[in-house]
């Protein structure tokens, strides 16, 4: 899986989801943006307009578009589930933890991604990029280094975030890749949505039951291959599912 990068070192465009769920260009800080191979594979399954959807060898004619649609439905299922459940959990979190979680959400789900590399300075100082309305992506959180460290550890311990290491490049600041929910639980909900959409395709004759099963099994195998390491790492970092997403 190739790293996602801009056309040159001077410019970078990310994509924010518009109200209809489609990608909408939004300015991001200049420079290349790296996460890691597993995270980028997951993001390639999501409707962010940045990562091309994978072209799996097992796909037959016409199935790539159906699988992409099913994955988009899986992403939206997780996003809606998280949005519906997070407010019920807010009483579990301190103000600092709520602010950290808000940063992670804005850098991931808001841009049609499950995971994103977020440097510590972003949690502390915000992000001076702008969304499609011209508003700052992330305002300063008011956190200090010690408060950020405590908050991240607490959220991981409460099963409220995913956290794995980002690949390093040319001496850049060490960072982690974050998501708004532990990876294991995130993918469970993602697959519920994906399977529902594949069943719909089977019901309306777009896919046979045999091919629907084959597509699900093929995607599961690809996830094990590309994301097995980050799933293990997230669990070691405290990313066990400890609470409802929705």
**pLDDT tens-digit readout, 108-155:** 999 999 999 999 999 999 888 877 777 778 888 899 999 999 999 999
DSSP-derived 3-state class of residue 1: coil
Alpha carbon distance 234, 128 (integer Å): 29
Q: What does the pLDDT read at residue 129?
A: 80
pLDDT reported for residue 29: 39
**pLDDT computed for residue 20 by the predictor:** 44
Give the span between the Cα atoms of 97 and 89, in whole angstroms.
11
Q: Which residue has the tokens 């004619």?
A: 61
Helix or strand (DSSP H, E) at 40: helix 37-44
Whole-number pLDDT of residue 228 = 94
Which residues lie across from 8 on neighbouring strands?
Answer: 11
Length of the chain: 246
3-state secondary structure of 146: helix
What is residue 87's predicted lDDT score, i.e. its pLDDT? 86
Residue 243: predicted pLDDT = 46
Are 42 and 117 in contact, with CB atoms under 8 Å apart? no
64-68: long-range contacts, CB 8 A cutoff, minimum separation 24: 66/198, 66/201, 66/206, 66/207, 66/215, 67/215, 67/219
Q: What is the pLDDT of residue 239?
A: 58
Joined together, the tokens standing for residue 40 give 């980028």
What is the predicted pLDDT for the residue at 104? 96
CA distance 182 to 239: 5
Residue with tokens 């091309």: 52
Token pair 């992409």 is at which residue? 68
Contact 131, 71 (CB under 8 A): no
Residues of the chain with pLDDT under 70: 1-34, 168-174, 239-246
pLDDT of 19 reads 42
Angle, nearest 10°, between helix axes 37-44 and 209-236? 140
């Amino acid at each position: 899986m190739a790293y996602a990068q801009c056309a040159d070192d001077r410019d970078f465009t990310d994509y924010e989801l518009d109200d209809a769920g489609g990608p909408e260009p939004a300015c991001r800080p200049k420079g290349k943006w790296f996460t890691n191979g597993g995270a980028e594979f997951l993001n390639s399954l999501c409707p962010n307009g940045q990562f091309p959807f994978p072209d799996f060898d097992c796909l037959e004619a016409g199935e790539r578009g159906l699988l992409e649609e099913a994955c988009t439905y899986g992403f939206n299922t997780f996003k809606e589930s998280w949005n519906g459940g997070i407010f019920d959990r807010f009483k579990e979190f301190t103000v600092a933890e709520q602010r950290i979680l808000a940063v992670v959400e804005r850098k991931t789900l808001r841009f049609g991604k499950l995971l994103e590399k977020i440097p510590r300075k972003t949690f502390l100082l915000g992000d001076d990029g702008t969304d499609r309305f011209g508003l700052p992506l992330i305002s300063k959180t008011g956190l200090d280094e010690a408060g950020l460290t405590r908050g991240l550890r607490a959220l991981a311990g409460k099963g409220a975030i995913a956290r794995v290491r980002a690949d390093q490049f040319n001496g850049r600041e060490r960072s982690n890749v974050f998501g708004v929910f532990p990876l294991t639980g995130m993918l469970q909900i993602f697959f519920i949505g994906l399977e529902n959409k594949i069943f719909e395709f089977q019901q309306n004759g777009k896919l046979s039951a045999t091919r629907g099963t084959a597509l699900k099994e093929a995607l599961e195998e690809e996830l094990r291959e590309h994301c097995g390491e980050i799933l293990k790492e997230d669990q070691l970092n405290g990313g066990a599912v400890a609470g409802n997403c929705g």
